[in-house]
Structure 1
């Protein structure tokens, strides 16, 4: 695959456009950031499980759940930003305007 300059980010040509095999193309920096955040969230979730097993006061558990939800929202925002800057821009440039409807559905799901 050829690397092209879009003015926003370097992307692999047509990597998001194939309906049968769409893949993301995150930089190693973005992958590392997402992975680090998800590893922390995974630890937080295990911690919540431990709190429940220890009969921790409900309000304390609920506050930890809120922290995990906030952290997941942060991961979603980062991923959405990168998706907009790469896949969506590329598909619009390729004339695939249906990506807007796909994006709107995804955003509605994220905002529930």
Structure 2
């Protein structure tokens, strides 16, 4: 299964934002910022990465329920999506 083009663009945008957040966290650590501030930013970037992952999984689930796929293929795809979802949970 491949990620749809529209989903890819959205996920890439989210990941680039997270990349910027991570660079900011590195700068915070290097400048000796308060631990609580750093952890708050780490939690924010973690949520952003989770949302990107869930967006990819949601796209995959849409493909799984496609009427074009046969029953065996849909079942295998759903099992794969379940494993991916649980890896993020």
User: Normalising by structure 2, what TM-score?
Assistant: 0.84
Check whether the contact 1:48–1:61 (CA below 8 A) recurs between aligned residues.
yes
Check whether the contact 1:26–1:82 (CA below 8 A) recurs between aligned residues.
yes
CA shift in 2, pair 1:66/1:92, >3 Å: farther
Q: Which has the higher contact order (CA 8 A, sep 6+)?
A: 2
Name which one, 1 or 2, has greater alpha-carbon Rg: 1
Higher strand residue share: 1
Superposed CA deviations along residues 28-70 of structure 1, whole A, max 9, x for unmatched, are x322211111110000001100100001000000000010011
User: Normalising by structure 1, what TM-score?
Assistant: 0.68
* Secondary structure of the corresponding residue to residue 56 of structure 1: coil
Where in structure 2 are there 5+ consecutive unaligned residues? none
Q: Which runs of 4+ in 1 moved over 4 A?
A: none
Higher helix residue share: 2
Partner of 1:30: 7
Question: Which residue of the other structure, out of 55, 75, 80, is the alignment partner of 1:102?
Answer: 80
Where in structure 1 are there 5+ consecutive unaligned residues? 1-15, 17-23
| In structure 1, C-alpha distance between the alignment counterparts of 2:17 and 2:38, rounded to whole Å | 17
